[in-house]
């Protein structure tokens, strides 16, 4: 299902060509939102490039939905401006913003058939009949729901309803697609498929700018060109997905995105020619990718669980020793939890030595300097 | 399963529980069905107790009956339409336009249901009557010899009073239905480019149709049977079925005529009640 859904639609390819490059950027210019005296979004400045997928992630209550609803026009900023393309939309009502939106519970119109749901936006915009019929067919084809056009929403599964909701949003050719936890009502298996489909959808509509709010970091890492991490109503980091993952700028980002291990270290030698600095953790001398740390600085060495190995080789030149606390076997992955001088360290391994160490054993861990990143110990945000 | 039923079957025979239906049923028969039956019987007997079915045809074809029937239906349909429109507008505002104190207003309108209907009429007389505030005010301001506003003593006065009294009966089920409308749907429609009027028409109203039908048929039922308001306003020539029954029975002591009209009135009410139950059933209340 998922494999055919967004491909093999030749009509879509033509549309894709039409829409290519037609996307708009979204610009938050010092946008703040308050409910009464309670500020839920501190002045936020952020740009989403045309055709970009920006994932906004962060813990519950951090202001993600608020930011998205400000773009949609349901939340009035206390200050700042929001621009979509060249238009300042801050004072426009939602129905004049030319957006698409999909939310967690789909919000399909229960008394309308699937095709009427998808046609709703076009009818509201006064499109003519022939165009509506064509667009509805396209949009439903795009999400693989063409054969369900005559059904009512209650006759569809959750995943199918979500596809219809996406088709409904796409049918109006929005400048920007707003997705607020669109998959969180689906179970894990379907969610994985849908993430793939949204990725494929975006490849076929490369001009479509997407703001994707989620608290699922896997969705964000899979889909997003850039990620903005929200915390307490502020963006605490923002950058290209891989860069944010490889070189998290602060502790919160490192822990929120991919559950990094953070080893407290003291810088011994600042960054040299290869971008590597030397740092001490207890007796161990470790090398890691640094920035502008100075000798003597307290720092955190960020190592991803999958980059730690139980065996040494030419690349895994860093070595630390920990006490094994726990082993969780999960089929394709085995998770080990160790205690390294009071810091819990997680290891995710695909290959393990035949003789697995017992809990309580002292176990050496090896990792490559290039797989690490140094970040400031005390970063406020 | 069948075994269990078999085991319990003898117990049921001795079960005194089922006899509890007797007292309420007896009471119902005594207080409700028996008088109804008496009325129905009386419709066929003239006032000296002799069977006279021809009188039924005479009454049903009489000018005063047809006038009253037309008045009743006109007033009740107009008042119900008014209630639907006013109730819908009020409910939309109360449910979807956030303003401080909206729930207080909703509750205030709700308490209207608790007031006796003729009280509103009395208030109307003070406001719009020939010696009411509006007329005396206008007469003083423009030194008019006669009260300029006299709509109150007409069919429209009755309709206006009934709309005022019965709108809450529409408002209540509508507010209940509106509270179930997913705000997400309204927002989705709005993002898709629908203006408020289209959203009301295509998203909100379809969800409220059962409530409108239930509230509307309840209004029809209540306005068909309205007595106090019509009597209190006492508009000349505005005679409805309940008023006619009252006049024939109490003022003219024409019991057969009163009973014939009463039977028609009851049939009309039961028909409307059936409609109401049907709609309420669809609504799930
Ligand atoms: N209508 C409202 N009135 C008052 N406070 C609100 C309102 N809506 C949201 N908030 C507050 O704003 C803050 C941010 O809410 P928001 O919905 O943006 O969080 P979120 O990041 O989307 O969280 P989640 O991941 O749980 O969806 C929260 O503290 C919330 O309580
Ligand atoms: Mg949210």
Task: Return the percentage of chain A with pLDDT > 90, whole number.
Answer: 45
Q: Is A107 on the interface with B (CB under 8 A)?
A: yes
Chain A CB contacts of B207 below 8 Å: 110-111
Q: A238 CA to chain B: closest CA distance, Å? A: 27
Q: For the segment B166-187, what is each residue's pLDDT rounded down to a tens digit?
A: 998 898 889 889 988 889 999 9
Q: How far is the CA of B102 from the centre of ligand 2 (A)?
A: 27
Task: Return the percentage of chain B with pLDDT > 90, whole number.
Answer: 18
A97 with B191: Cβ contact below 8 A:
yes
Determine which of A74, A106, A124, A164 to mutate to test the interface with B (most B C-beta atoms within 10 Å): A124
pLDDT given for residue A377 in this prediction: 78
pTM of the model: 0.80
Name the band, by pLDDT with cuts 50, 70 and 90, for residue B134: confident
pLDDT given for residue A154 in this prediction: 93
The answer to which of A260-269, A358-367, B101-110 has the lowest mean pLDDT is B101-110
Q: For the segment A324-339, what is each residue's pLDDT rounded down to a tens digit?
A: 998 888 778 888 999 9
Cβ contact A335:A348 at 8 Å: yes
Instruction: Collect all residues with Cβ–Cβ distance below 8 Å to A255 and sequence separation of at least 6.
Output: A262
| Domains of chain B with bracketed CATH | 59-283 (1.10.3720.10)
Q: A98 CA to chain B: closest CA distance, Å? A: 7
A95 with B185: Cβ contact below 8 A:
no
* Length, in residues, of chain A: 381
Mean of pLDDT values over A148-173: 92
Choose the closest CB to B193 out of A95, A103, A111.
A95
Q: For the segment A33-79, what is each residue's pLDDT rounded down to a tens digit?
A: 999 889 999 999 999 999 999 999 999 999 999 999 999 999 999 99
Q: How far is the CA of A46 from the centre of ligand 2 (A)?
A: 18
Instruction: Collect all residues with Cβ–Cβ distance below 8 Å to A98 and sequence separation of at least 6.
Output: A84, A172, A174, A175, A176, B193
Mean of pLDDT values over A136-146: 89
| Domains of chain A with bracketed CATH | 3-246 (3.40.50.300), 260-376 (2.40.50.100)
Give the DSSP letter of residue A358: P
Q: Which residue's alpha carbon is at the smallest distance from atom 31 of ligand 1?
A: A61
A95 with B195: Cβ contact below 8 A:
yes
Name the band, by pLDDT with cuts 50, 70 and 90, for residue A20: very low
Name the band, by pLDDT with cuts 50, 70 and 90, for residue A130: very high
Query: Is a pLDDT exceeding 60 seen at residue B283?
Result: yes
B189 with A103: Cβ contact below 8 A:
no
Q: How far is CA A313 from CA A195, A324, B150, in A?
A: 36, 21, 103
Q: Is A29 exposed, middle or buried (0-12, 13-18, 19+ CB in 10 A)?
A: middle
B194 with A101: Cβ contact below 8 A:
no
B187 with A94: Cβ contact below 8 A:
yes
Per the listing, tokens 């309580």 go with A360
Indicate which atom in ligand 1 lies nearest the CA of residue A68.
Answer: 18
pLDDT given for residue A10 in this prediction: 35
Determine which of A110, A116, A173 to mutate to test the interface with B (most B C-beta atoms within 10 Å): A110
pLDDT given for residue A22 in this prediction: 63
Q: How far is the CA of A212 from the centre of ligand 2 (A)?
A: 11
| Predicted interface score ipTM higher than 0.95 | no
Name the band, by pLDDT with cuts 50, 70 and 90, for residue B6: very low
Mean of pLDDT values over A108-123: 94
Ligand that lies nearest to the alpha carbon of residue A61, given by its number in the listed order: 1
Q: Is A105 on the interface with B (CB under 8 A)?
A: yes
Cβ contact A4:A144 at 8 Å: yes
Cβ contact A256:A59 at 8 Å: yes
Name the band, by pLDDT with cuts 50, 70 and 90, for residue A2: very low
Name the band, by pLDDT with cuts 50, 70 and 90, for residue B284: low
Indicate which atom in ligand 1 lies nearest the CA of residue A181.
Answer: 27
pLDDT given for residue A356 in this prediction: 76
Name the band, by pLDDT with cuts 50, 70 and 90, for residue B15: low
Q: How far is the CA of A65 from the centre of ligand 1 (A)?
A: 7
- The CA-based diameter of chain A, rounded to the nearest angstrom, is 75
Q: For the segment B190-209, what is each residue's pLDDT rounded down to a tens digit?
A: 999 999 999 999 999 998 88
Give the DSSP letter of residue A187: -
Q: How far is the CA of A69 from the centre of ligand 1 (A)?
A: 10
Name the band, by pLDDT with cuts 50, 70 and 90, for residue A228: very high
**If you average pLDDT over every residue of chain B, what do you get?**
84
Among B242, B215, B222, B219, which Cα is nearest to B231's? B242
Query: Is a pLDDT exceeding 80 seen at residue A299?
Result: yes
Choose the closest CB to B190 out of A94, A111, A168.
A94
**If you average pLDDT over every residue of chain A, what do you get?**
86
Q: For the segment B240-251, what is each residue's pLDDT rounded down to a tens digit?
A: 889 889 988 888
A120 with B191: Cβ contact below 8 A:
no
Choose the closest CB to B206 out of A101, A107, A111.
A111
Name the band, by pLDDT with cuts 50, 70 and 90, for residue A92: very high
CB atoms within 10 A of CB B183: 10
Choose the closest CB to B192 out of A103, A106, A121.
A121
Give the DSSP letter of residue B97: S
Q: Which residue's alpha carbon is at the smallest distance from atom 26 of ligand 1?
A: A60
B192 with A169: Cβ contact below 8 A:
yes
Task: Find the residue in B nearest to A125 (Cα).
Answer: B193
Instruction: Collect all residues with Cβ–Cβ distance below 8 Å to B83 and sequence separation of at least 6.
Output: B162, B163, B166, B167, B169, B170, B215, B216, B219
Choose the closest CB to B192 out of A106, A110, A120.
A120
pLDDT given for residue B7 in this prediction: 47
Q: For the segment B112-124, what is each residue's pLDDT rounded down to a tens digit?
A: 777 777 788 888 8
Name the band, by pLDDT with cuts 50, 70 and 90, for residue B138: confident
Determine which of A36, A71, A93, A111 to mutate to test the interface with B (most B C-beta atoms within 10 Å): A111
pLDDT given for residue A4 in this prediction: 38
**β-pairing verdict for A99-103 and A176-180:** parallel
Query: Is a pLDDT exceeding 80 seen at residue B14?
Result: no
Choose the closest CB to A101 out of B188, B202, B206.
B188
The answer to which of A203-217, A246-260, A282-296, B13-27 has the lowest mean pLDDT is B13-27
Mean of pLDDT values over B72-93: 93
| Protein residues whose CB sits closer than 6 Å to any atom of ligand 1 | A 35, 40, 58, 60-66, 215
* H or E stretch at B168: helix B155-179
Ligand 1 pocket test, pick from A31, A35, A41, A185 with the greatest ligand atom count within 8 Å of Cβ, gives A35
Chain B CB contacts of A168 below 8 Å: 188, 192
B185 with A107: Cβ contact below 8 A:
yes
pLDDT given for residue A379 in this prediction: 52
Give the DSSP letter of residue B248: I
3-state secondary structure of A373: strand
- Cβ pairs A/B, distance under 8 A: 70
Q: How far is the CA of B100 from the centre of ligand 2 (A)?
A: 26
């Amino acid at each position: 299902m998922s494999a055919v859904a967004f491909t093999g639609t030749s009509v879509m390819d033509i549309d894709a060509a039409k829409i290519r490059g037609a996307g708009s950027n979204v610009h938050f210019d010092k946008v703040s939102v308050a409910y009464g005296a309670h500020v839920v979004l501190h002045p936020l400045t952020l740009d989403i490039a045309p055709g970009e997928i920006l994932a906004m992630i962060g813990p519950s209550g951090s202001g993600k939905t608020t930011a998205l609803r400000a773009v949609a026009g349901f939340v009035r900023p206390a200050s700042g401006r929001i621009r979509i393309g060249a238009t300042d939309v801050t004072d426009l009502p939602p129905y004049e913003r030319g957006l698409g939106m999909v939310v967690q519970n789909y919000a399909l119109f229960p008394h309308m058939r699937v095709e009427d749901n998808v046609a709703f936006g076009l009818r509201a915009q006064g499109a003519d009949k022939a165009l509506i019929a064509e667009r509805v067919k396209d949009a439903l084809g795009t999400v693989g729901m063409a054969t369900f056009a005559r059904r009512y929403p209650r006759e569809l599964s959750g995943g199918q309803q979500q596809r219809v909701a996406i088709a409904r949003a796409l049918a109006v050719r929005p400048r920007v697609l707003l997705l607020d936890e669109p998959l969180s009502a689906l179970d894990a298996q379907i969610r994985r498929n849908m993430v793939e489909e949204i990725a494929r959808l975006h490849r076929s509509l490369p001009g479509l700018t997407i703001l994707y709010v989620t608290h699922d970091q896997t969705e964000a890492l899979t889909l997003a060109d850039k990620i903005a991490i929200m915390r307490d109503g502020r963006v605490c980091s923002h950058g290209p997905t891989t860069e944010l993952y490889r070189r998290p700028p602060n502790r919160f980002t490192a822990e929120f995105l991919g559950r990094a291990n953070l080893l407290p270290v003291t810088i011994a030698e600042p960054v040299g020619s290869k971008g590597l600095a030397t740092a001490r953790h207890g007796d161990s001398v470790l090398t890691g990718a640094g920035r502008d740390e100075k000798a003597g600085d307290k720092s955190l060495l960020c190592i991803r669980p999958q980059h730690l190995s139980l065996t040494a080789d030419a690349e895994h030149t860093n070595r630390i020793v920990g006490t094994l606390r726990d082993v969780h076997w999960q089929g394709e992955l085995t998770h080990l939890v160790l205690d390294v001088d009071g810091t819990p360290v997680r290891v995710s391994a695909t290959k393990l030595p035949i003789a697995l160490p017992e809990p309580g054993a002292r176990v050496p861990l090896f990792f490559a300097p290039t797989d690490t990143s140094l970040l400031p110990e005390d970063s406020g945000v | 399963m069948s075994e269990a039923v078999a085991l319990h079957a003898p117990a049921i025979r001795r079960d005194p529980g089922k006899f509890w239906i007797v007292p309420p049923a007896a009471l119902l028969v005594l207080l409700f069905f028996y008088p109804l039956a008496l009325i129905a019987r009386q419709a066929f007997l003239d006032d000296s107790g002799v069977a006279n079915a021809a009188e039924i045809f005479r009454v049903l074809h009489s000018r005063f009956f047809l006038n009253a029937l037309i008045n009743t239906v006109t007033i009740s349909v107009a008042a119900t339409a008014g209630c639907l429109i006013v109730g819908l507008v009020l409910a939309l505002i109360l449910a979807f336009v956030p303003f401080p104190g909206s729930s207080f207003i909703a509750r205030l309108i709700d308490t209207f249901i608790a007031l006796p209907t003729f009280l509103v009429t009395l208030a109307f007389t003070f406001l719009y009557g020939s010696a009411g505030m509006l007329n005396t005010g206008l007469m003083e301001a423009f030194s008019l010899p006669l009260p300029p506003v006299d709509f109150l003593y007409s069919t429209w006065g009755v309709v206006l009073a009934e709309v005022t009294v019965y709108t809450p009966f529409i408002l209540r089920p509508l507010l209940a239905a509106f509270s179930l409308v997913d705000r997400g749907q309204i927002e989705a429609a709005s993002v898709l480019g629908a203006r408020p009027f289209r959203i009301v028409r295509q998203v909100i109203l379809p969800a409220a149709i059962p409530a409108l039908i239930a509230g509307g048929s309840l209004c029809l039922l209540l306005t068909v049977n309205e007595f106090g308001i019509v009597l209190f306003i006492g508009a000349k020539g505005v005679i409805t079925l309940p008023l006619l029954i009252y006049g024939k029975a109490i003022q003219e002591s024409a019991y057969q005529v009163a009973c014939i009209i009463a039977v028609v009135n009851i049939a009309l009410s039961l028909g409307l009640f059936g409609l109401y139950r049907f709609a309420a059933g669809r609504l799930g209340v």
